Amino acid sequence: MLNQQEQHTKKLQKCRVLGPCAVEFAAANTGSWRLERPIVRFNECIKCGTCQRFCPADLITIDKGKKECVDIDMNYCKGCGICANECPKKCIDMVDERSVG
């Protein structure tokens, strides 16, 4: 608590550091690795949430109230295809990333 209060009185300043400190976070944007993109055919989707449970990166949110209920965070989806593989209705297609643009 004290630390947080102190921070208001402190200023953000550029400092030189020695040794390995990451200064670029682009590498964390794993979505850029994707070769294939999962696309859900929502007319066949039964909103079971299987894709969400199997996503190894936990990037899928299910909102059962919506028609397009499966939301995949494309900033981080690597296109591994596990969701498509596990979907009981087989209604997730893996589409060549280049064709999506």
Task: Please report, as ranges, the residues that interact with another protein according to CB under 8 A.
Answer: 7, 10-21, 23, 32-35, 78-79, 96, 98
Q: Yes or no: say if 10 and 32 are a contact pair by the CB < 8 Å rule.
A: no
**Closer to another protein by Cβ: residue 1 or 17:** 17
CB of residue 9 vs another protein: minimum separation in angstroms? 9
What SS3 state is found at 8? helix
Q: For residues 44 and 33, what is the distance between their CA atoms, to the nearest angstrom?
A: 28
**Closer to another protein by Cβ: residue 18 or 88:** 18
**Closer to another protein by Cβ: residue 1 or 15:** 15
What SS3 state is found at 93? strand
CB of residue 64 vs another protein: minimum separation in angstroms? 32
CB of residue 56 vs another protein: minimum separation in angstroms? 13
Q: Yes or no: say if 45 and 70 are a contact pair by the CB < 8 Å rule.
A: yes
CB of residue 18 vs another protein: minimum separation in angstroms? 7
Q: For residues 96 and 101, what is the distance between their CA atoms, to the nearest angstrom?
A: 9
